[in-house]
Amino acid sequence: MKNQLIAGALLSIWSLTGCDEFLDAKPQQSLVIPNTLNDFQALLDAEPRYMNMVGNLALLGSDEMVLGPNVLTRINPEEKAMYFWEKEIYTQSDMVNEWRTIYSMIYYANLVIDGVEDFEPRDEAERLRANELKGAAMFSRALGHFSLMQVFAAPYDPEQTSLPGIPLRTTADINLQTSLSSTAEVYALILEDLEFARTHMQDKAEMVTRASKWSAEALLSRVFMTMQEYEKVVKHAGIALSIGNELMDFNTLPVGGTYTFPRFNPEVIHHARLLNNRMTFNAEQFVHPDLYALYDSLDLRKTVLFDSARTEGYVNLVSRYTGDYFDFGGLAVDEVLLDHAEASLRIGNEKEALEDLNELLRHRYVSGEFTELNLSGEPLMRRILEERRKELLFRGIRWLDLRRLNQDPAYAVTLDRSYNGSEAVLPPEGDGYTVSIPPNEYTLNPNLD
């Protein structure tokens, strides 16, 4: 195990700095084998080393934004191919950053899991802390595998769980080669990891960059939404909301500025951000006009979230839950509340679904101007789905919803890039909802064939 940990530490440094910098670097006496509980915590706290990052391909592929001509010339060919749903995404490279980054996070998580399993606690306090660290690592491993499945595997279909998924990584042994696991096998591990996490961690962590029972329950809500197991969504979303359900009142937020939300605002359950690229900081990353048109004049999100772009007729998103210019990719109370609302309605609890929806909107509309909704049945469902689109924008969640809802003809949509003067179209069951596994993986791992 110690040899594996040393190799893993070196591999991690190489992947993060690039091979030239790694070969030029001098050995450091501070490079030690992680074998204490503090070492394991430090690995999990390595935010700059991908532990609090998720991919951005889901955002690129969805219908939330329009990219202007200048930014389209700056993003890499693989990202551009994803944006236009091209069948062959690997135009110049045999790897995309998302694949490498998320598996790096899984690797770090496995490094902790392997290390904790070898750790011998001296007392009950150390045993409990070791289990909590293992739970946190399992949360990260589950988040990583789940995120990869939303891009590199077909949309989850409860009737087709034998479809190929992704390679599962359950050890930090870099020499172990794995085959493609089925969808059922991948989701089974995700749920197993989260079940351990939710039962071995404190309700809330010291900081929201760390995992907790709160974040594990919230992620279970998201996973079961994807799996369309709505009774389980209600259960786990309910537990998450019982731990923390505070919503920001948008009436108290400044209007007309940028970075309106404080970093780690009270709605954040687990902090993570989407991988940045050259579109992240570009003024030509516009909000899709169809999305912007959904906000009425009394909806404070219209003034808190957006500002006029330099290009006439467009707006930019200027306020994100990260508290800065990075797109938020974590878990938050508003998402869990909307999960609970939709799932409650789907299992026949209209009253609770309506209460959830009105609770959110009371915090988003001008004080004294919001009249509580009194909807039921199909109109209530459509309003909940509309609010998911309006509330959870630029987080990668719309992509998950499209993949799920497109399986129901009543809610299926066809996407197009007509705003870019393109004829690119993505039908509800189009191939563009699944990115092929990087070709280099098949070269390095014959077991995938």
- DSSP per-residue letters across 189-256: HHHHHHHHHHHHS-SS-SSTTS--HHHHHHHHHHHHHHHT-HHHHHHHHHHHHHH------GGGS-SS
Q: Are residues 193 and 254 in the same domain?
A: no
Asked whether residue 261 is domain-assigned, the answer is yes
Number of domains composing the chain: 2
What was the pLDDT predicted at 446?
82
- Beta bridge mates, 169: none
Q: What is the pLDDT of residue 445?
A: 83
DSSP 8-class letter at 330: S
**Is there a domain that residue 73 lies in?**
no
In DSSP terms, 299 is beta-bridged to 365
Going by DSSP bridges, is the β-strand pair 425-426/415-416 parallel, antiparallel, or unpaired? antiparallel
pLDDT at position 48 is: 67
Give the closest residue to 359 by CA, choosing from 381, 334, 330.
Answer: 334
Does 125 map to a domain? Answer: yes
* Token duo for residue 203: 């309700």
Model pLDDT, residue 243: 98
Which of 201, 228, 263 is at the close of a domain? Answer: 201
Question: pLDDT means per 10 residues in the chain (449 residues)?
Answer: 39 37 34 80 85 94 96 91 92 81 95 95 96 98 98 97 96 88 98 98 97 98 98 98 98 85 96 89 94 97 95 95 94 98 98 98 96 97 98 98 98 98 97 93 81
Q: Determine the Cα–Cα distance for residues 205 and 384; give it in Å rounded to an integer.
A: 30
Residues 216 and 162 in one domain: no
CA–CA dist 163, 176 (Å, integer): 23
CA 268/CA 276 separation, integer angstroms: 20
Claim to verify: residue 231 and residue 253 sit in the same structural domain: yes
Same domain, 174 and 239: no
Q: Do 180 and 165 meet the contact criterion of CB atoms below 8 Å apart?
A: yes
Same domain, yes or no, for 217 and 186? Answer: no
**Same domain (yes/no): 182, 305:** no
End-to-end CA, the chain = 29
Task: Kindly give, in sequence order, each residue whose CB lies less than 8 Å from that of residue 157, ignoring residues fewer than 6 positions away.
Answer: 163, 407
What is the token pair recorded at 322? 């990260």
Query: Which of 360, 358, 250 minimizes the C-alpha distance to 305?
Result: 250
Does one domain contain both 121 and 265? no
CATH, residue 17: 1.25.40.390
Quick one: pLDDT at residue 32? 52
Considering the domain architecture, whether residues 317 and 411 belong to the same structural domain is answered as: yes
Q: What is the pLDDT of residue 320?
A: 95
Residue 414 CB burial class (10 angstroms; 0-12, 13-18, ≥19) = exposed
- Looking at residue 303, its amino acid is T
pLDDT of residue 3: 37
Q: What span, in angstroms and rounded, lies between the C-alpha atoms of 283 and 312?
A: 12
CB environment 369-379: b (16+ within 10 A), e (fewer): ebeeeebeeee
Supply the pLDDT for residue 255.
Answer: 76
How far apart, in whole angstroms, are the C-alpha atoms of residue 263 and residue 321?
A: 7
- Exposed/middle/buried for residue 171 (C-beta within 10 Å: 0-12, 13-18, 19+): middle
Residue 391 lies in a domain: yes
| Domain boundary, last residue among 139, 174, 201 | 201
Q: Is 334 contained in some domain?
A: yes
In this structure, the answer to whether residues 329 and 400 fall within a common structural domain is yes
- Nearest CA to 278 among 60, 13, 58, 435? 60
- Same domain? For 295 and 161 the reply is no
CA distances for 378 relative to 14, 27, 74, 142, angstroms:
53, 64, 43, 34
Give the span between the Cα atoms of 355 and 312, in whole angstroms. 39
3-state secondary structure 377-433: HHHHHHHHHHHHHHHCCCCCHHHHHHHHHCCCCCCCCCEECHHHCCCCEECCCCHHH
The parent domain of residue 329 ranges over: 212-423
| Residue at 83 is within a domain | no
- What is the CB neighbour count within 10 angstroms for residue 363? 20
Examine the domain organization and report whether 189 and 262 are in the same domain. no
Asked, for residue 444, whether it belongs to a domain, the answer is no
Do residue 149 and residue 191 come from a single domain?
yes
Q: Residue 92's pLDDT is what?
A: 67
Question: Domain for residue 177, yes or no?
Answer: yes
* Class of residue 144 by CB neighbours under 10 A (exposed 0-12, middle 13-18, buried 19+): buried
